[in-house]
Structure 1
Amino acid sequence: MTNRLLGLMFLVLFSMTSWAGKDAVFSTSDGAIRGYDPVAYFSQGRPVKGKSGYKARYQNADWYFSSAENRALFEASPEQYAPQYGGYCAWAVSQGYTASIDPEAWTVHEGKLYLNYSKGVQSDWLEDVPGNIAKANKNWPSLLN
């Protein structure tokens, strides 16, 4: 089996576990987006690891930033910079479930940040971004229940 196929099988099995009352934001011990700076996706066009000295709290999650300027931009308008679907994998949400993300698998589309489980899953997401967004919007946020 290819690594991509194994990854997709894991994603499906992982998503089948029952998580009652998921958090509104996907977060790990490193914080939302696994500690990456959400503003950097827009300002630098790439994922940048945040620093512990630049932290903000939003939607019950800790968010980390690479600079005080990025933290201030986020605090002024978090809905502009926070990833869609609470930072859960956008493709998974379009398919009717939630999954974790890889901060390196990302897309900015029409000014919004979308994260994916892996680069392999991201390639599926990119096959029809507008269609996948439409499906995900119908599923979100009811998947948190």
Structure 2
Amino acid sequence: MTRFTLGLAAAATALSFASAAFAGDQYVDETGFAVSGYDVVAYFDLPTNAVGTPPAAPVAGNAGITAEYNGSTFAFSSEENRDKFAANPAQFAPQFDGHCAYGVAKGGKVPANPYLWRIVDDKLYLNITDVVVGFWEEDIPGNITLAGSNWVDIEADAASGSTIPKFSSTAPNK
């Protein structure tokens, strides 16, 4: 399994913002779950495709296997994944409270689609649309740095209340 990694200088910059990425309101859509009910731990076991190709489909969580973090309910596909999350939620929760990483790079909080994900330096980033993913992937390290610096100013803003465009969640499983 391969992971996209940043250059050393960009990684240091991105990591400097890591602690700020979890303090605000988590994005929660109409499912009532963070990340639309998909298992955030499972992303780390999925193959990461090359930049420019679609990522693997996320794993749906189970409404009966949950954990609370950052004021929100996360669903998991297994008790093992729930327990991993509970032991270190900041390791698995998406950056920018589950908002679109490119949206944050542009200065705002917009929803993120759980199908449009990338793990960079062991951190989960989500985006909103295929078009946005294209912009994000033009300069992933630069966008992470810009998002991190913007996050300082917008983190305290309310979570996005918008619906993810062209997305119909079937997660979590009942």
Which TM-score bucket, shorter chain as reference? 0.7 to 0.9
- Aligned pairs for 1:1-145 (under 5 A) are 24-30=25-31, 31-45=33-47, 46=56, 47-143=58-154, 144-145=156-157
Residue identity over aligned pairs, in percent, reads: 41
Q: Distance in 1 between matches of 2:151 and 2:98?
A: 12
Q: Quick one: which amino acid aligns to residue 73 of structure 2?
A: D
Q: Distance in 2 between matches of 1:85 and 1:141?
A: 10
Cα RMSD, aligned residues only: 1.2
Deviation at 1:28, TM superposition (A): 1.7
Deviation at 1:101, TM superposition (A): 1.1
Q: Quick one: which amino acid aligns to residue 42 of structure 2?
A: A
Deviation at 1:102, TM superposition (A): 1.0
TM-score normalized with structure 2 length: 0.68
Q: Quick one: which amino acid aligns to residue 68 of structure 2?
A: R
- Corresponding pairs, count: 123
SS at match of 2:134: helix
Choose between structure 1 and 2: higher strand proportion. Answer: 1
What residue number does 1:17 align with?
A: none
Q: Distance in 1 between matches of 2:28 and 2:147?
A: 19
Q: Distance in 1 between matches of 2:34 and 2:92?
A: 12
SS at match of 1:113: strand
SS at match of 2:25: coil
TM-score normalized with structure 1 length: 0.81
Q: Quick one: which amino acid aligns to residue 126 of structure 1?
A: E
Q: Give 5+ residue unaligned stretches, structure 1.
A: 1-22
Answer 1 or 2: higher relative contact order, Cα 8 Å, separation at least 6: 2
